[in-house]
Structure 1
């Protein structure tokens, strides 16, 4: 099992959120539709 501090966990989570946001921005730039409800559900569940 990997043990990490609360701060390490928070940093990893922030990095994942930033990566997902960047992906969303790229999709918008390409004119691809984004379902806002699905997007926020994925963020809450920690997907991607």
Structure 2
């Protein structure tokens, strides 16, 4: 896996947000998930 790829960085950030929030679906986690959606819409 290329740890310096943009996808790897996004996933790493997501895992950090999840860990910080005890793996619960809260507003911060939802906001991070929404940021993925906007990135994907712009790239595809």
Tell me the TM-score normalized by structure 1. Answer: 0.39
Tell me the TM-score normalized by structure 2. Answer: 0.42
Q: Which has the higher contact order (CA 8 A, sep 6+)?
A: 1
Q: Give the structure with higher Rg (CA).
A: 1
